[in-house]
Structure 1
Amino acid sequence: MSDIRTESANRVLSIILDRPAKKNAITDAMYGDIATALARAADDPETGAVLIRGEGPDFCAGNDISMFAAAAAGEQNILASNIGPFLEAISTFPKPLVAAVTGQAIGIGVTMLLHCDLVYIAGDAELRTPFIDLGLVPEAASALMLPERIGHVRSFALFALGEPLSGAEAATIGIANRALPADEVERAAELAARTLAGKPLSALVATKALMRNAEAIAAALDADQKAFAAQIQTPEAAAAFAAFAARKGPPAS
């Protein structure tokens, strides 16, 4: 098991990003373990809902930058990584999926929320999607799903300008259900997950399926994974990762 921890109680499986020293940035091994946990939860009749949260003050600082740097250098094929299985698992997960977000949510830490059914967030959380600043394109079907959720101009500002969004703003525009004090977020998300887990599961699964355009999401995932893999090989991406390394020191590991 990588830096992922799982806990089960009251028919809720909690998937915990457990890498607080790196603000829960996700490694390739972590992507694989999340995908495995979601697959098992989907098939487990004793699991009625899943809760995703981060250990420590931050939810998720995005993808571990070392993966992108290796792909940009031609040392890793991003399409052969565990990112694909993770995206497929979270985008097709049939049961209710709840997120508890505090602190920083960056990149995939934001875009995965679009695949969650309920999101509880700290009012002072900070959301950022700096894909273009890294010479990349948005992933996780977010170029389709975010404009559908909050409109084109707001989405373009997040993607292209890299403007940060507070948790309070995220709740106001519909990325999250409720903005709360940070110390109340986990409890609210757990209560919601337990409530969902106590409801008729087949009806919840059927309702979720009716509410999501699975074909459009799958097509968007395929398109943006191909675009992402192509963009990560460009000189722009290589320059962006070199500049990032110069500012931050050695990549996270």
Structure 2
Amino acid sequence: MTTQVLVERRGERLALTLNRPERRNAITVAMYAALADAIEAAADDPAIRVITLEGRGVDFTAGNDLADFMNELPQDGQQDVPVWRLLRALARNMVPLVAAVHGNAVGIGTTLLFHCDLVIAEEGTRFLMPFTDLGLVPEAASSLLLPRMAGRRVAARHLLLGEPFTVEEAERYGLVSHRADAGGLEDRLEAVVVNLLAKPPQALRLTQSLLRGRDHDEVLNRMEWENGHFSERLKSDEVREAITRFFAARAAKS
């Protein structure tokens, strides 16, 4: 298992931490596999009552590690690609999942939050889904969940135009459940976890299941639809040109 994702059992809590701060926690294929393994395993472990997800360093995550991702292009019909495994695991997860985010939450760093039960964001967090800028399409069923949560026009701002949004906006949309002052994210997370663990465990899991409703098939079907387009787009000239421009711009800044 990669050391770029820390998987720690802390009593009844499974703590997952993105641990690649030198690259702003850009997520590699190995990191996706580690996250998918951990969340899938938690489903079969009744002793785990809460899952938490954090990122070390200045950002929650800068999204995909594009160089790594382009070297491991998903093939048509592949269902065991680590990123797709992680997204399905998130959609099916029945253990209360709490994310604590700060800095930048880019791409999947934002879309995976749609599948968390509670999201705590530190003041100053910036959310961004730049899929169209990269010649790509949304993933994680965000094309279904964001319009449902915030309305079609808001979704168009952030998925068509790729406009970033703030903690205040994320709270208004319903993506963020709790806000933390600068420097207070860890304390806020710990308080939420303690509160959850004080609840009767069966009542907690049943309530989480009821809140998620019966839309698993709809969400998984939308993910499959998005994933098909995403895989096709990865082979397109538009994507290759956009990613070439991205790396050229990054090199010019360094």
Q: TM-score, normalised by structure 1?
A: 0.92
The answer to whether the Cα contact below 8 Å between 1:51 and 1:190 also exists between their aligned partners in 2 is no
Counterparts of 1:130 and 1:143 in 2: how far apart (Å)?
13
1:212-227 matches, cutoff 5 A: 212=212, 213-227=215-229
- Residues 1:182 and 2:187 are matched in the alignment: no
SS of the counterpart of 1:209?
Answer: helix
Aligned equivalent of 1:77: 75
Aligned equivalent of 1:138: 138
Closer, same or farther: CA 188–10 of 1 in aligned 2, 3 Å: farther
Give aligned pairs, total: 247
Counterparts of 1:19 and 1:162 in 2: how far apart (Å)?
25
The answer to whether the Cα contact below 8 Å between 1:121 and 1:185 also exists between their aligned partners in 2 is yes
Counterparts of 2:193 and 2:228 in 1: how far apart (Å)?
34
Counterparts of 1:220 and 1:98 in 2: how far apart (Å)?
23
Alpha-carbon shift at residue 76 of structure 1 (Å): 5.6
- Residues 1:239 and 2:241 are matched in the alignment: yes
Residue in structure 2 matching 1:229, options 228, 231, 234: 231
Map Cα deviations across residues 123-158 of structure 1 (whole Å, 9 max, x no partner).
Answer: 201110000000000001110011111111111101
The answer to whether the Cα contact below 8 Å between 2:27 and 2:63 also exists between their aligned partners in 1 is yes
Alpha-carbon shift at residue 81 of structure 1 (Å): 2.6
Map Cα deviations across residues 217-242 of structure 1 (whole Å, 9 max, x no partner).
Answer: 11111111111111222211111111
Aligned equivalent of 2:154: 154
1:161-200 matches, cutoff 5 A: 161-200=161-200
Alpha-carbon shift at residue 121 of structure 1 (Å): 0.2
Counterparts of 1:64 and 1:5 in 2: how far apart (Å)?
18
Q: Specify the code of the residue in structure 2 equivalent to 1:96.
A: P
1:107-146 matches, cutoff 5 A: 107-146=107-146
Stretches of structure 1 lacking an aligned partner (at least 5 in a row): none
Aligned equivalent of 1:15: 16
Aligned equivalent of 1:4: 5
Counterparts of 1:29 and 1:70 in 2: how far apart (Å)?
12
The answer to whether the Cα contact below 8 Å between 1:69 and 1:238 also exists between their aligned partners in 2 is no
Closer, same or farther: CA 42–160 of 1 in aligned 2, 3 Å: same
Q: TM-score, normalised by structure 2?
A: 0.91
Counterparts of 2:224 and 2:201 in 1: how far apart (Å)?
29
Please identify runs of 4+ aligned residues in structure 1 that moved more than 4 A.
none
